[in-house]
Amino acid sequence: MAPSRTDLVALIDDPVPFLESDDPVLRRMAVTALAPDSVRHHRSVLDALARDDEPEIRASVAEKLAFGGSEAMDTLEGLRSDAEAMVREAVATAYGEVGNSDALDWLIETAATDPDRGVREAAVAALGAIGDDAAVESLLAFIAEGPPQVRRRAIAAITVFDDPRIESAITRAAFDRNPSVREAAEMVVGRQLGGG
């Protein structure tokens, strides 16, 4: 059953009371609507919701924990091995938003081995967002031999780094057998040639 108009109006006004609603749709919407600057104040409820039966709610919590500061990282770490791909993808995205270099090993491993394509792509994007030079070797390897989606995403992610090997890796990728990988490489080369 869909939430009532009254509930929706009240949730928009103040999502906090709905974090513990019996209705999973309202719980998820409340997590999503929670103001980033109030995440730390409601950490205990979010920690409980990180164990919710509904994967959509756990994924929403993972995304929101990006605003929870360093103390939220334990909860985020607990979601890394979630059975649902949407949750692991949200965790990877949150790490990228936080810029947490402590998560590099997990992101590299996830980008290489997660069975879900979206999770692998999110992990690669997070490596670029974090911008830690320790990720360069892995990103170069992903460009050379990852699945097509990972190769394409790694091309975009590696452009934030300054390493002499990057230009040749992207040039080689411009001749990749996969058209989407070639297109990603050509776009980077075009931006470099155009100066922008």
Proportion of the chain above pLDDT 70, given as a percent = 96
pTM of the predicted protein model: 0.90
- Written as six digits, the tokens of 44 are 């205990």
Note the pLDDT of residue 191: 65
Whether the per-residue pLDDT at 196 is higher than 80: the answer is no
Q: Quick one: which of 131, 129, 110, 188 has its CA closest to 155? A: 188
Q: How confident is the model at residue 83 (pLDDT cuts 50, 70, 90)?
A: very high
Q: What would the pLDDT profile of 124-169 be if each residue is shown by its tens digit?
A: 999 999 999 999 999 999 999 999 999 999 999 999 999 999 999 9
Q: Are 50 and 58 a contacting pair, CB within 8 Å?
A: yes
Note the pLDDT of residue 193: 45
Note the pLDDT of residue 178: 96
Q: Are 158 and 169 a contacting pair, CB within 8 Å?
A: yes
Rounded to an integer, what distance in angstroms lies between the CA atom of residue 135 and that of residue 142? 11
- Written as six digits, the tokens of 121 are 């792509």
Q: Which class for 160: exposed (0-12), middle (13-18), buried (19 or more C-beta within 10 A)?
A: middle
Q: What would the pLDDT profile of 100-129 be if each residue is shown by its tens digit?
A: 899 999 999 999 999 999 999 999 999 999
Contacts of the segment 179-187: beta carbons below 8 A, 24+ positions apart = 180/148, 180/149, 180/152, 181/148, 181/151, 181/152, 181/155, 183/152, 184/151, 184/152, 184/155, 184/156, 185/155
Sign of CA dihedral 98, 128, 190, 185: negative
Q: Quick one: which of 132, 133, 137, 95 has its CA closest to 112? A: 137
User: Taking the CB of residue 77, how many other CB atoms lie within 10 A of it?
Assistant: 16
Note the pLDDT of residue 189: 82
User: Taking the CB of residue 124, how many other CB atoms lie within 10 A of it?
Assistant: 33
Whether the per-residue pLDDT at 1 is higher than 90: the answer is no
Q: Dihedral angle at the C-alpha atoms of 147, 88, 140, 196, nearest 10 degrees?
A: 100
